[in-house]
Amino acid sequence: MLTLKNKRLKDSENFLFLKRLIRNPRSLGAIVPSSKALARFICRHIHYNEGDFIVEIGAGTGRFTRAILQSGVPEAKLIVLELDSELAHYLRGNFPGVHVIEGNATVLENLIPAEVIGNVHTIISGIPMVNLPKKTQKEIMDACFKILGEGGHVLQFTYGPVSPIPVKSFNTDANR
């Protein structure tokens, strides 16, 4: 059942998304917020262990943030990065126990607390990579791999028919 509080939150989330879409459509990478079903699907691939940190980059209106928390990740272990200041402000207001950082994912290792580096198990990225130059895509992925702990992984979701960041476009060990 949709409560009045949940309806207001959903309405404000949709309004904010629409406002940001009109202002800068390429920054969002979609014409509607991500679905709850997609968020739940992606979050099924989080294998949280006590002490791990989970990082979400490109959090937007928090659809995935909410699903990450619902999957069992404690607020104190979730770090959310958002480039857009209005969206970051919205996230702070709706997720007061989550560490929300306003900044650019290309310098992720300079934005998150030093004690988190190497203790990140999963990074979930909703950044619209398809709209970014290859150089920026590489900078973001490099920054992600700098903070991951051993066995950590990056989950990137993109609205498009093919991956915007094919492995062969980067000079990594996976290509050798």
pLDDT for the residue numbered 126: 84
pTM of the model: 0.76
**Strand blocks (E) in 96-136:** 99-102, 120-125
Note the CATH number of domain 4-160: 3.40.50.150
pLDDT for the residue numbered 127: 84
Q: Give yes or no for residue 71 having a pLDDT over 80.
A: yes
**Single-letter amino acid code for the residue at 156:** Q
Q: Which of 38-42, 46-50, 139-143 has the highest mean pLDDT?
A: 139-143
| Contact of 20 with 28, CB cutoff 8 Å | yes
Q: Give first-to-last CA distance, the chain, whole Å.
A: 52
Q: Give yes or no for residue 129 having a pLDDT over 70.
A: yes
**Single-letter amino acid code for the residue at 175:** N
pLDDT for the residue numbered 9: 47
Q: Give yes or no for residue 143 having a pLDDT over 50.
A: yes
Alpha-carbon distance 176 to 164, whole Å? 20
Q: What is the mean pLDDT of the chain?
A: 80
What is the enclosing helix (H) or strand (E) of 139?
helix 134-147
Closest CA to 53 of 120, 126, 134, 123: 120
What is the enclosing helix (H) or strand (E) of 81?
strand 78-82
| Mean of pLDDT values over 88-97 | 93
Residue by residue, DSSP assigns 27-78 as HH-SSSPPPHHHHHHHHTT----TT-EEEEES-TTSHHHHHHHHTT--GGGE
| Contact of 109 with 143, CB cutoff 8 Å | yes
pLDDT for the residue numbered 61: 85
Alpha-carbon distance 45 to 38, whole Å? 12
The full set of domain ranges for the chain reads 4-160
pLDDT for the residue numbered 31: 46
Alpha-carbon distance 85 to 121, whole Å? 26
